[in-house]
Structure 1
Amino acid sequence: MDNQQGKGLSFAKRIYLPRVVGMGIGCLSVFAGLYPVQQPSWVWALLLFNGFLWPHLAYLISTRAAFPYQAERRNLWCDSLFGGIWAAAMQFNPLPTVTILAMMAMNNLAAGGLHLFIRGFFAQLGGVLLAWLLLGPAFTGHTTQWQIYACLPMLILYPMALGMVCYQLAIKLFEHKHALRALSRTDSLTGLLNHGAWKDLLHLKFTKCQQQRCQGTIALIDIDHFKRINDSHGHILGDTVLHQLSCDLKHNLRQGDLTGRYGGDEFCVILPATSLQQAREVMERLREVFSHYRHPDIPQLRVSLSIGLAAWHPGLSDAAMWLIEADKALYAAKNSGRNKVASASQESHAFLAAMNDS
């Protein structure tokens, strides 16, 4: 219900400005159409109410209603009803009538699409019948020059006001879409790229290295004995450790490095234009920084990282092979004592072969 109310209030605020502008300057067009036909005084009083009081009253009604969206749609229906009344009261003077009814139809289409447009049409028809019942049917087929001039502000200013509202709405929708796209690519706990987003970038970087024969290195990072941390101290502390690593990654890597959470306690980094040796220096620094972390409530807790590195080389057929090499290097680091950085080199491959043989 709170979500519906929020949407309704936003809708009412969007309608408020076009209604104030449209009703205000629309009074001039209606006045020009009414003046020659000598309508009773209550019609003029209703015109003043509709033009200058109704927009603010409608806003108060919708914003204070339990369901603002539904209340605002009823207000739009009343707008159309008034439009039909003025068309009949002006005795269907061609230009003022078309101006008023067309602007209201435009507003209904912009606010609620075809459904509201149709409802508005029947409301206008109801307004015509009500005015005929009170004033009697009559028709005026001639529009004077000063009536043409009186309709110009409505024809110029109201579409501008409505267009500005639609433009602002389009900007907000673009911003929301951009924010949702960012959220869909971000891991909620760490604020880093999620698994899918990072792998998409890995494919792009692999293609760039392949086409331009440029350097690039990837790193897979694993928190040593993370399951033991969760089992001994709980998942809340485990999440704190994950968050700490994400902070260290953000603060100790270069601006162009692309960091993501690969899954569980495993993180991943793409280091563009970076040799294997340069990447090793960066990761050694990260490993050292993270090892100094101390939790204020559990000072005896010690953390460390195992890191596997793989540099791009022409022998890689695709991004998956590149990732497999980094994973093999990580496996070598974990199985040779942990808390170290290993690279996808002949030595690590030989170590893995020995492990498999044993």
Structure 2
Amino acid sequence: MTDNKRGKGLSFVRRIYAPRTIGMGIGLLGVYAGMLPLDPPPWVWAVMFFNGLLWPHLAYQIGLRSPTPYQAEQRNQLIDSMTGGFWTASMHFNPLPSITILSMMTMNNVAAGGQRLFVRGLLAQIAGMLLSMAIFGPGLQLVSSNLQVYACLPMLTLYPLALGWVCYRLAIQLSEHKRSLSALSRTDSLTGLLNHGSWKDLLQLKFQTCQQQLSSAVIAIIDIDHFKTINDTYGHVVGDAVLRHLSAELKIGLREDDLAGRYGGDEFCVILPDASLEQAARIMERLRERVASYRDPALPELRISLSIGLAICRTDFDDPVAWLNEADKALYTAKNSGRDRVNFVGGENVPPRVAYPE
């Protein structure tokens, strides 16, 4: 949990680095133009150039090396705000450079930390102004020169562009993360197939399509024979391996439009659209044979067999539950007839290792 929190903090530090470097660099032009008419002492120029050119890289290293990078980066942003307030008062509140610097830093605080960082940043700006007035005394310069106007133009154009690009990249990452979470919510974690709820939703949609368009589709319910015995004899780790192997075979052996899901426990369900019972039986028989050939070198005595029930969607079904129950009846007929076979209601049990004519 701690490593995950630190990883998110480091990501935050890296995300802030580029906007701070660009913003401080071009903001230096506005501060320089604002301070130039005041002829400050040399140490002020040294502090100003350090703040504009070196501080972004120092802040980045502080964030990376901190055991709590997220909190360290927020402290760095408060320092940004305080220096912004300091230079604003040092320029005697010259309108254009002052508003430009303070508004850009405020925008950065809101984007990075919302209302809380906005308020704390505002207090830090006031603290910086008070510090400057304590050192240099108060002053007021309400006229901006042409040089100061031109020096602020890069800050007014390039910094919003840089911040907008960072926000855009963040939005893309959030969108990808949302898609990943959506996929996880629909997927069984062990097998990677659709989970029970997602498969039932697709069953509802496929049933409606078949009834409205009079198209064909077959449900297959697949049960691993004596799976409880496998778990009891070899342990749940081997049982999980068997489930993963079956899911892998389903992914390999099914057609592109077939929809496979883990219905629960050792039971899997497949929707085979645009398939007849005979076609579905051939597909399921090949699956049964491939799974039956599974061998674990560490457990050579382990054998896996499948019982499979099929049902085609009929117009006399009132709902998808009736369709699913039909396949369930076929499955229990297969299990009661000796297992390790494919069966469909109204058809014959297909005993093991019977080849279907293509």
CA distance, structure 2, for counterparts of residue 2 and residue 239 of structure 1: 29
Matched, 1:320 2:347: no
- State the Cα distance separating 1:59 from its structure 2 match: 0.7
TM-score by length of 2: 0.95
CA distance, structure 1, for counterparts of residue 329 and residue 210 of structure 2: 21
8 Å contact 1:203–1:319 — kept in the other structure?
Answer: yes
For each residue in 1:272-293, what CA deviation from the matched residue of structure 2 results, as whole angstroms up to 9, or x when unmatched?
A: 1111111111111111221111
How many residue pairs match? The answer is 348
8 Å contact 1:311–1:344 — kept in the other structure?
Answer: no
Matched, 1:154 2:155: yes
For each residue in 1:121-172, what CA deviation from the matched residue of structure 2 results, as whole angstroms up to 9, or x when unmatched?
A: 1111111110000000000011112211110000000000000111111111
Find the counterpart in structure 2 of residue 72 from structure 1. 73
CA distance, structure 1, for counterparts of residue 307 and residue 134 of structure 2: 86
Instruction: Give me the CA root mean square deviation.
Output: 1.2
Find the counterpart in structure 2 of residue 353 from structure 1. none
CA distance, structure 1, for counterparts of residue 113 and residue 320 of structure 2: 48
CA distance, structure 1, for counterparts of residue 32 and residue 148 of structure 2: 9
Kindly provide the amino acid, as one letter, of the partner of residue 238 in structure 2: L
Find the counterpart in structure 2 of residue 220 from structure 1. 221
8 Å contact 1:39–1:89 — kept in the other structure?
Answer: no
Find the counterpart in structure 1 of residue 332 from structure 2. 331
Find the counterpart in structure 2 of residue 129 from structure 1. 130
Find the counterpart in structure 2 of residue 250 from structure 1. 251
Kindly provide the amino acid, as one letter, of the partner of residue 194 in structure 1: N
CA distance, structure 2, for counterparts of residue 297 and residue 45 of structure 1: 71
Bigger shift: 95-104 or 297-306?
Answer: 297-306
For each residue in 1:12-51, what CA deviation from the matched residue of structure 2 results, as whole angstroms up to 9, or x when unmatched?
A: 1111000000000000001111111222222111110100
Matched, 1:274 2:282: no
CA distance, structure 1, for counterparts of residue 234 and residue 35 of structure 2: 81
Give the 5 Å matches for 1:1-16.
Answer: 1-16=2-17
- State the Cα distance separating 1:346 from its structure 2 match: 7.5
**Identity of paired residues, percent?**
61
CA distance, structure 1, for counterparts of residue 347 and residue 318 of structure 2: 18
8 Å contact 1:27–1:47 — kept in the other structure?
Answer: yes
Detail structure 1 runs of 4+ shifted over 4 Å in the superposition.
none
CA distance, structure 2, for counterparts of residue 103 and residue 263 of structure 1: 55
Kindly provide the amino acid, as one letter, of the partner of residue 274 in structure 1: A
Kindly provide the amino acid, as one letter, of the partner of residue 62 in structure 1: G
Matched, 1:106 2:92: no
CA distance, structure 2, for counterparts of residue 246 and residue 174 of structure 1: 28
Find the counterpart in structure 2 of residue 303 from structure 1. 304
CA distance, structure 2, for counterparts of residue 234 and residue 44 of structure 1: 73
CA distance, structure 1, for counterparts of residue 67 and residue 298 of structure 2: 48
- State the Cα distance separating 1:80 from its structure 2 match: 0.4
- State the Cα distance separating 1:298 from its structure 2 match: 2.2
- State the Cα distance separating 1:252 from its structure 2 match: 1.2
* SS of alignment partner, residue 304 of structure 2: coil
* SS of alignment partner, residue 59 of structure 2: helix
- State the Cα distance separating 1:182 from its structure 2 match: 1.1
For each residue in 1:236-283, what CA deviation from the matched residue of structure 2 results, as whole angstroms up to 9, or x when unmatched?
A: 222222121112111111111111111111111000111111111111
For each residue in 1:165-191, what CA deviation from the matched residue of structure 2 results, as whole angstroms up to 9, or x when unmatched?
A: 111111111111111111121112211
CA distance, structure 2, for counterparts of residue 290 and residue 66 of structure 1: 50
For each residue in 1:35-90, what CA deviation from the matched residue of structure 2 results, as whole angstroms up to 9, or x when unmatched?
A: 11222222111110100010001111111111111111110000000001110111
Find the counterpart in structure 2 of residue 30 from structure 1. 31
* SS of alignment partner, residue 271 of structure 2: strand
- State the Cα distance separating 1:347 from its structure 2 match: 7.4
Kindly provide the amino acid, as one letter, of the partner of residue 341 in structure 1: V
